[in-house]
Amino acid sequence: MNESAPTVDPDNCLRFPSCSFNTEAYGLIYSANDLVTIWKKLVANGFPLEEILSLLSIADEPIEIARTIDALESCRFIKGVEGRSADLKKKLSSIVKQKNSTTNKKKEGVLLALTSTTEELRIAYMIAKMGYHLEFRNRKGPDFIIGSEQIVLLEAKSRFNRTHFGGTSGKSAKLTEKGIFSLLCRDSVPLLKRAFSEQNTNIALVNLSHSEYGLILAAHSYANERKFELKKALDDALALSRAGEDAVVLIVESSGGTSESFGLTLPRKTIEGIGGPLGEIENILKKRGKPFDFYDLAHVAEDPIGWMQGIKASAVEHNQ
């Protein structure tokens, strides 16, 4: 028996050499026993899971592997998933076999491959389970097609830019819903050019669960009893697309074991019109050498256009 392979604890948690965790608490679909079986099946089919585990051997890093194999197995009923599985196996095998690469670079490559694939698969699973006719596309361009008569192309993107993880701070920022939406636009706007201009999608599905401000949407929903139902967001996006407008669905999966998903649809032009200026303000203030962090940007987000006008006016006065 391979000592590095996962096992099941007496309390039905999935155990790796460096950690043990409750699969349900992490929003996984399959049980620990199921995941051990899936692991063995994938290894037998040539997935380099043991090599990957040797790279992700610190603390809870192996959880990313479990999330990926859980998501992959969950999507077995979706047409085209075999191609995704083959692509992932090829990519992971290529990374672990790189001869002129450091362990850290291999680790970074593996984590990126796992997390990006997992988010795409989880989005596909959620959409398909809602009753939409969805298929993976095994060709260049958008990731999915949805609809059996009027086909709409969907591209899944995830933003991994979280640098603030809580802790203590003397700062605070009071946000209205307008400010929250502005921050979500800021987080998502860098992904839109590739999704629409390069991959020619009709709808961009942007997962902000790991972005700087994404989880604020979930917190806002819980605190203020605001519903951001993913199915409604998808319906709104399909309506926009069929009207000839580029649509963006912002998706957030809550943390803490609730396994709840939130969705908000905005037109592409709205996100670029708000997120673009907010990003510009952030860059300008950073270039000026001013301390600027998570809370400062949240404060600016309440009125990014006003702040931009103020910065431009200040620049004009300075040059006179």
| Within-domain flag for 134 | no
pLDDT at 172 over 70: no
Q: Residue 8's beta-bridge partner residues?
A: 14
96 and 220 co-located in one domain? no
78 and 174 co-located in one domain? no
125 and 146 co-located in one domain? no
| Within-domain flag for 19 | yes
Q: Tell me the pairing of strands 19-21 and 134-136.
A: unpaired
Quick one: pLDDT at residue 294? 67
Q: What is the pLDDT of residues 237-247, one digit of tens each?
A: 999 999 999 99
| Within-domain flag for 135 | no
Residue at which a domain ends, from 129, 156, 184? 129
pLDDT band at residue 231 using 50, 70 and 90 as cut-offs: very high
265 and 286 co-located in one domain? yes
69 and 173 co-located in one domain? no
Q: Which two tokens stand for residue 8?
A: 């099941």
Residue at which a domain ends, from 129, 158, 183? 129
The sign of the CA dihedral 175, 211, 24, 205 is positive
Quick one: pLDDT at residue 292? 66
Among 44-58, 117-131, 172-186, the range scoring the smallest mean pLDDT is 172-186
Q: What is the mean pLDDT of the chain?
A: 86
pTM for this entry: 0.84
Domain count, the chain: 2
85 and 201 co-located in one domain? no
| Within-domain flag for 277 | yes
158 and 36 co-located in one domain? no
Quick one: pLDDT at residue 314? 66
119 within 8 A of 156, measured Cβ to Cβ: yes
Q: What is the pLDDT of residues 56-82, one digit of tens each?
A: 988 889 999 999 999 999 999 999 999
105 and 155 co-located in one domain? no
Tell which wins on pLDDT, 177 or 1: 177
Tell which wins on pLDDT, 164 or 128: 128
Q: Tell me the pairing of strands 19-21 and 144-146.
A: unpaired
Tell which wins on pLDDT, 68 or 301: 68
66 within 8 A of 41, measured Cβ to Cβ: no
**Residue in 14, 19, 113 with CA at minimum distance from that of residue 72:** 113
304 within 8 A of 272, measured Cβ to Cβ: no
114 and 188 co-located in one domain? no
Q: Which two tokens stand for residue 283?
A: 């860059």
| Within-domain flag for 46 | yes
| Within-domain flag for 42 | yes
| Within-domain flag for 205 | yes
Q: What is the pLDDT of residues 80-89, one digit of tens each?
A: 999 999 999 9
Quick one: pLDDT at residue 5? 84
- DSSP assignment of 215-274 equals HHHHHHHHHHT---BHHHHHHHHHHHHHTT--EEEEEEE-SSS---EEEEEEEHHHHHHH
pLDDT at 129 over 80: yes
204 and 122 co-located in one domain? no
Which residue range is the domain that position 162 belongs to? Answer: 141-320
180 and 31 co-located in one domain? no
Residue at which a domain ends, from 129, 157, 179? 129
250 and 279 co-located in one domain? yes
Quick one: pLDDT at residue 165? 43
Cα(42)–Cα(164) distance, rounded to whole angstroms? 35
| Within-domain flag for 281 | yes
**Residue in 146, 165, 262, 273 with CA at minimum distance from that of residue 211:** 165
